[in-house]
Amino acid sequence: MVKKSIVNPYEVEGKIDYDRLIKEFGIKKLTDADLNRIKKHTGEIHHFLKRGMFFAHRDLNKLLDEYEKGNKFFLYTGRGPSGPIHIGHVATWLFTKWLQDKFDVELWFQFTDDEKFLFYNQSYEDIQKWTKENMLDIIALGFDPKKTHFLIDTKHAGIMYPEAIKVAKKINFSTIKSAFGFTDTNNIGSIFYTAMQTVPVFLPNVLKGENKMCLIPLAVDQDPHFRISRDVVEKLGHRKPAILHAKMMPPITGVEGKMASSKSNAAILTTDSPKEVARKINKYAFSGGQDTIEKHRKLGGNPDVDVSFQWLKYFEPDDKKLEKIEKDYRSGKLLTGELKKILIDKINAFLKEHQKKRKEAKKLVEKFIY
C-alpha cells in the first residue's frame, strides 16, 4: 500500500499527490482559462504559473471580477521566523513580488514570531533574531517600501489582538484538532495561533476603513488555516480572501516532502557561499541519471525525479532553454554533472545579487515595518 502523505502547516511528509490534495482541501485547479484571464492584466504568464508550480486557487475569479470593475485588492503572505531563508521560500515571494508589480497593489507581510515561539523549541530571543534576519531577505527581493507593510505579531499585538479574539471566539478546539492534527497535549497558545494568522486577511480594511478583497499567495501546506477562517471572517462582516496555492519546492534529497532550513544540507540558504551551493548540489542533489556514463548515454536520465532539473524549473525562466535541457537530459546527451553545473551557476548568479541587496536592506527595515 502506498503510504499516505501528510500536508498541514505543521507536517509535510511523503510524496504529495497534488490532485488528491485539490479534492481533500476543496480547492480548484488553475486552468488555462484562469491563466489567460490573469494574463489580460499582467501581459505575461509567470513561469511559475505556466509550469504548474502555482497550481490551484480559491476564489480567483471573484477577485478578478472585482478587479475588472476597478476594485483593487491587497496581497497578504507571511513568514514564520524560526531560522534562515532558503530558496523554496524565496520562490513564493518572487511570485508575490511579480503580483505586486503587475497589479500595482499593497502587500501586507506577516512575521509570526508568536507562532514559531509556541511551536518550536527556541527561545523568544532567538526568534526575534531570526525575525530581523528574515526581514532582510524579504526586502532584498525588491518589494516596494511604499506599498509593503510588515506586521510582526508580538510587536503589533496592540492592533492585532482585538481582531484575533473576535476570530478565536468563532472557532472551537475540535476544528483545530482535526485541521492541524493536534491532540490534548498541544500547548494552549498553539491552539489560539490560527486566529493571529487570520487577522491580516482583513486588518488593512479595519485600519483604513476600506472593504478590499485580499489575495494570499502561499505554499499549499498553509491552506488549512484559511480553510477554517474564510467562513469565520465572513461571519465577522469581512470578505473571504482569495488564495493562490504553490506546490512545496522539493528538498535536495528527492521529490518527497518539503525543503526545511532546519536540515541545512537539504536546503540552499540565501546566505550560502558559491562554494557551499556547489558542494550541496554536487553531493546531495538527488539525481535522475544512470549510475555510469555509458548507461546514461544509452538510457538517458529522468528529469521528472531529478531535483536539479526540478529546481531549474524555478530558476530558468526561459522556456526554450529549459526544454533543451530536458530533452538533452532525457536522451542522455546531458550528464548529471553537467546538469548540476547549470543549476549551480543559475543559483549562484541569483544569490550574488540577493546577498548584495540583503546588505543594503539593513538601512530600509524601518520603512517596511508598519
- Chain residues in the site for ligand TRP (CB under 6 A): 9, 77-80, 110, 112, 115, 197, 216, 218, 222
Q: Which residue has the cell 537530459?
A: 329
What is the nearest approach in angstroms of ligand TRP to the Cβ of residue 219?
Answer: 7
Q: Which residue is nearest to ligand TRP (CB)?
A: 78
What is the nearest approach in angstroms of ligand TRP to the Cβ of residue 247?
Answer: 14
242-246/11-13 β-pairing: unpaired
For ligand TRP, the closer CB: 80 or 289: 80
For ligand TRP, the closer CB: 153 or 306: 153
Locate the DSSP E strands across 85-222.
Answer: 107-111, 148-152, 214-219
For ligand TRP, the closer CB: 197 or 308: 197
Q: What sign has the CA pseudo-torsion 304, 310, 316, 317?
A: positive
Do 239 and 46 touch, CB atoms closer than 8 A?
no
Do 250 and 313 touch, CB atoms closer than 8 A?
no
The burial class, CB within 10 Å (0-12 / 13-18 / 19+), for 194 is buried
C-alpha closest to that of 106 among 226, 268, 214, 259? 214
For ligand TRP, the closer CB: 47 or 258: 258
Q: Which residue has the cell 532550513?
A: 261
Rounded to whole angstroms, how far apart are CA atoms 86 and 336? 23
For ligand TRP, the closer CB: 79 or 354: 79
For ligand TRP, the closer CB: 233 or 281: 233
Q: Which residue has the cell 507562532?
A: 115
Strand, coil or helix: what is 86? strand
End-to-end CA distance of the chain: 50
What is the nearest approach in angstroms of ligand TRP to the Cβ of residue 267?
Answer: 14
What is the nearest approach in angstroms of ligand TRP to the Cβ of residue 112?
Answer: 5
What is the nearest approach in angstroms of ligand TRP to the Cβ of residue 156?
Answer: 13
What is the nearest approach in angstroms of ligand TRP to the Cβ of residue 332?
Answer: 40
What is the nearest approach in angstroms of ligand TRP to the Cβ of residue 74?
Answer: 13
Which residues share a beta bridge with 86?
A: 269
For ligand TRP, the closer CB: 220 or 281: 220
Nine-digit cell at 284? 546531495
